[in-house]
Structure 1
Amino acid sequence: MVRDDLCITVPSLFRCPISLDVMKSPVSLCTGVTYDRSSIQRWLDNGNNTCPATMQILQTKDFVPNRTLQRLIQIWSDSVRHRVDSPESPLSTESVDRRDQLIVAITDFESGSENQFDSLVKIVRFAKDSEENCVFLAKTEGFVCVLVSFLDNVDGGVERSVELLEQVVIALDLVLCKIENRESILKSKKENESKSILDSLLLVLQQGSCESKIASVRVLKFIAVDAESKLLVAEKEGLLSELLNQITPKKDQNLMENALSCLVAISTPKRNKAKLVHLGAVKVFSNLLTASPSLCVSVTEKVLKLLETVSSTKEGRSEICEAPSCVVAIVNKVLKVSTVATEHAVTILWSVCYLFRDQKAQEAVTKANGLTKILLLMQSNCSPQVRQMSVDLLKIFRVNSKSCLSSYDTKTTHIMPF
């Protein structure tokens, strides 16, 4: 029994054009019009061969279940039932109305109607309003799949496609973090479908607004949850290069930080590390550290993390060693940014100076007063791993140039391990 104070408005799309009741089993004729199965079956059984709504002659009397509409009707019905059964609805009347309107908007978007773009804008606006709304969308069965399918199947003019893609990517970004299943979007896709999705994300990175670019790299990071997906992303022509383009000093810091986070997620496979080095990533990271002294802590940490990642490869170490300014910039971040940044910086210096034994890198560390910083670091509350790497570094410099250490006249020299 419905409470007297609860007014329920049924979206017109949920009503059968014949019975005007909410459809229980919506099916679509060849004309594209949807009816409740029992109503249209009676119409056809009475000998009619036309579509009741359009009066077009039916080429076939077959009909197909409209699963999308049935799912949306079910979501709406569950919402109504909850409001009727609850003594006090947890949602305001305004919230209820907005969710009903949202379901209509989702239906319009999924059906590809003329109002598709406007419907998508409404969905994005709804998601931005609150965390609760994002959760609601994430739990709307099939909604994420519809958004992903749209990335895989874009039509129309380029301008219109980019405009639509931006909204789709923003919507995806808002709901992906709320879904429980974190399996990669690409995992269940065929190879050509995966490429189309990456094509769409790349297009947004190239032509989108700052907001949609941030959403695009966040979606890419969500995608890159396993080795297979990371390789697929890295192998997409132009994608890694475009990500590197987003972390130049003049870019928005929020965009830079998200692009760096995405690169950190993608860069773990050895093949991807090599590709980053080949694309000139070391130079990009070096320029960021040297040209932007006012970088925020999180951006600096991520840049150093990526340099540490590529320094685990021979190619990466070679590139770092060939750029003394890069080594100097790394030394300058020790003990100046954060504990995390210091750990990354020391690991890089250990790789190029101790493991790789590069003379140019060792000279650059010495000129940048790196020995002093290493000694000070050993007196700090650093981790055992960092302390051991510092010991290794001091041994290298002692062997190569005793005079370097003898010039360091301070009471802290007693910590030297030899």
Structure 2
Amino acid sequence: MIISWRRRKAGRKTENKKQFCNLDMDVEEIAIPTHFRCPISLDLMKDPVTLPTGMTYDRSSIEKWIETGNSTCPVTNQELTSFDQIPNHALRRMIQDWCVENRSYGIERIPTPRIPVIPYEVSRIRERVMGAARRLDEKKCRELVGKIKAWGKESERNKKCMAENGIGGCLSAVFESFASSSADEYVEILVEILTVLPWMFPLGEEDQSKLGSSVCLRSFMSFLEGKDLTARQNTVLVLRKLFSLDQKYVDAFGKIERGVEAIFGIIGEPICPQVTKAALACVLFMISSLPSAGTSDKYRSRFVELGLVSLLLETLVDAEKSVSEKALGVLDGLCDCKQGREEALENALTMPLLVKKILRISELGTEFSVSIIWKLCTIETQESFLIEALQVGAFQKLLVLLQVGVFNGMKDKVTDLLKLFNLHMSKLDCVDSSMNFKYLKRPSLS
């Protein structure tokens, strides 16, 4: 097999102030030396590594081979006694020299790759971080955590290696240690740890209990209300992951004074879509707790009092799809309480936005939109609101839903709404009153 590079010789002609390129193409080909090509991908190797069998592959190709469950050498078919990958520096330099020699053919020199972190290095730095934390040596801890952060920025592979070898548990313990000593005094190291923690989930039960301790949650609370945007961003990301692990962390944070207000503040002063989604997910965990917990109603009422219903509707006006889906989920949860439904009914944006979002975001987004409309129209039945729904096209949109096939859990709600709207169609000129729902044929769903 011959893989070649082409060189183009171009002539340029300039007229007045405009330049037009007249290309006379002379094509010259140069073959990539066979031993420079990865046996798996057949591409020029950028990071050649040698297996215990003596065969050399490009690192990304052999890693994919191993990650898919293969335990043999692709070329020799020998069983691998070890998955160690030794960088082949001599071959890499030969490839780089060849690229430089042939740069006139448009071949770019491959950069020297960074060597991935290995479990031994992770274990070693973990021990050093723990030792520095026991001495409350903030300077040394910041230096070591900075190195961990640099490793993580290099590749996803490094993040995975660190997560699998206990860095998450180590940093959770260190965070708790410095927060317990004096959160105000050790702000810099706490902020540095927060930049790394989002990579380290899921955590073991013991490790997550450290992050979920009262001292750590109070520290998170202070960062959420602080002015450091990076700290606020990473705190929300950590809380979202922590809340997803166990309801007890949701309840513990909710008991902290101004905890609900701190989460609301992140949504009210958006940093970026990723952070907004994380904050909305936190709200969902807080308002969706089991009835036996007895806290969800309290959270719903407090978020409604803070003005979250109006804020969500304003967010839905021009938010990206993933944010809109989360916002609709939260709004649906808030409409489970009377106070939330009343706030939604009073807002002029509610019905136009909900109808617009049907079939425009995702299956889940449509389900949330229909659920909210159903709660507002069947639980808090107001004729003016029903007429407004008809005016903005709710009846037609729900008919379309039936035609394309309603999603799971929505059939009964769509049916209820169409029957309800059918009673009021005669009062409007905007809807064809000859359309009667009782004659509508609906698709049968399994």
TM-score grouping bracket, smaller chain normalisation:
0.5 to 0.7
What per-residue deviation string (whole Å, max 9, x for no partner) do you get for residues 141-170 of structure 1? 65533323333433454xxx4332211222
Shift of 1:265: 1.7
Question: Aligned residue for 2:187?
Answer: 162
Q: Does 1:238 align with 2:258?
A: yes
Number of residue pairs aligned between Structure 1 and Structure 2: 320
The SS at the match of 2:209 is coil
Question: Aligned residue for 1:207?
Answer: 226
The SS at the match of 1:247 is helix
Question: Aligned residue for 1:279?
Answer: 306
8 Å Cα contact 1:353/1:393 also seen in 2: yes
Of 209, 214, 218, which aligns to 2:237?
218
Of 267, 271, 279, which aligns to 1:251?
271
Separation in 1 of the partners of 2:143 and 2:159?
22
Distance 1:358 1:233, change over 3 A: farther
Question: Aligned residue for 1:118?
Answer: 143
Shift of 1:102: 5.2
Separation in 2 of the partners of 1:338 and 1:233?
31
Of 260, 267, 273, which aligns to 2:280?
260
Distance 1:338 1:169, change over 3 A: same
Separation in 1 of the partners of 2:272 and 2:306?
22
What per-residue deviation string (whole Å, max 9, x for no partner) do you get for residues 249-308 of structure 1? 853111111111222122212222222112211011011112x2xx22211110000011
RMSD of the alignment, in Å? 3.2
Separation in 2 of the partners of 1:393 and 1:182?
49
- Structure 2: where are the runs of 5+ without partners? 1-79, 88-114, 289-295
Q: Which amino acid aligns with 1:264?
A: L
Separation in 2 of the partners of 1:370 and 1:237?
42
8 Å Cα contact 2:183/2:219 also seen in 1: no
Distance 1:87 1:349, change over 3 A: closer
Question: Aligned residue for 1:148?
Answer: 176
Shift of 1:355: 1.9
Distance 1:398 1:405, change over 3 A: farther
Shift of 1:336: 1.5
8 Å Cα contact 2:390/2:425 also seen in 1: no
The SS at the match of 1:275 is helix
Separation in 2 of the partners of 1:363 and 1:349?
13
- Structure 1: where are the runs of 5+ without partners? 1-85
Aligned positions of 1:314-333 closer than 5 A = 314-333=338-357
RCO comparison, higher one (Cα < 8 Å, 6+):
1
Separation in 2 of the partners of 1:399 and 1:182?
58
Question: Aligned residue for 2:216?
Answer: 197
What per-residue deviation string (whole Å, max 9, x for no partner) do you get for residues 78-137 of structure 1? xxxxxxxx9767376964584335533442244212423222222333344423333244
Question: Aligned residue for 1:69?
Answer: none
Distance 1:180 1:171, change over 3 A: same
Identity %: 18
What per-residue deviation string (whole Å, max 9, x for no partner) do you get for residues 367-403 of structure 1? 2221111111121221253122111112222223434
8 Å Cα contact 2:176/2:211 also seen in 1: no
Separation in 2 of the partners of 1:131 and 1:166?
18
Of 196, 212, 231, which aligns to 1:171?
196
Distance 1:398 1:136, change over 3 A: closer
Separation in 2 of the partners of 1:150 and 1:392?
56
